[in-house]
């Protein structure tokens, strides 16, 4: 991954975290890593554990941010979430998967943020 893509990803995750907190989510963890991969944000809302995948784009040439969470990524996130719940002693709690789509403008500022609850 190029440095520019990493920078854009970090910028999107920062914006998404602030956006979720404004919406009343309680952030549990950011960038949880293990051998299976990484969870961008783990939060709580309304008694549910919410696994949030953040996708950032500066254009829609390759599709919308949320469209980039294909079935392979969904499968990987489900495995990661199961591992997280087991490791943290949270197995059995209700959970869901959300996607936060972040669009950047031409100057690199956040243009728009969209939350897709229960994305998959």
| pLDDT on residue 1 | 66
Q: Could you report the per-residue pLDDT of 78-118, keeping only the tens digit for each?
A: 999 999 999 999 999 999 999 999 999 988 899 999 999 99
Are the beta carbons of 40 and 11 closer than 8 angstroms? no
Pairwise CA distance, residues 113 & 56, whole Å: 9
Give the pLDDT score at 59.
Answer: 74
**Sign, CA torsion 26/45/120/111:** negative
3-116, which class in CATH?
alpha beta
Contact 89, 95 (CB under 8 A): no
Average of per-residue pLDDT values in the chain? 94
Which has the minimum average pLDDT: 58-62, 73-77, 98-102? 58-62
- At 63 the pLDDT is 79
* Rounded distance between C-alpha atoms, residue 44 and residue 21, angstroms: 10
Of 35, 36, 34, 32, residue with least CA distance to 54:
32
């Amino acid at each position: 991954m190029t440095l520019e893509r990493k920078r854009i990803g970090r910028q999107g995750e920062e914006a998404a975290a602030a956006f979720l907190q404004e919406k009343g989510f309680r952030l549990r963890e950011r960038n949880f890593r293990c051998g299976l991969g990484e969870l961008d944000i783990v939060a709580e809302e309304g008694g549910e554990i919410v696994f949030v995948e953040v996708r950032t784009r500066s254009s829609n040439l390759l599709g919308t941010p949320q469209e980039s969470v294909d079935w392979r990524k969904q499968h990987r996130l489900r495995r990661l979430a199961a591992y997280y719940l087991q490791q943290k002693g949270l197995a059995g709690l209700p959970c869901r998967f959300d996607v936060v789509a972040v669009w950047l403008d031409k100057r690199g500022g956040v243009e728009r943020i969209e939350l897709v609850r229960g994305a998959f």
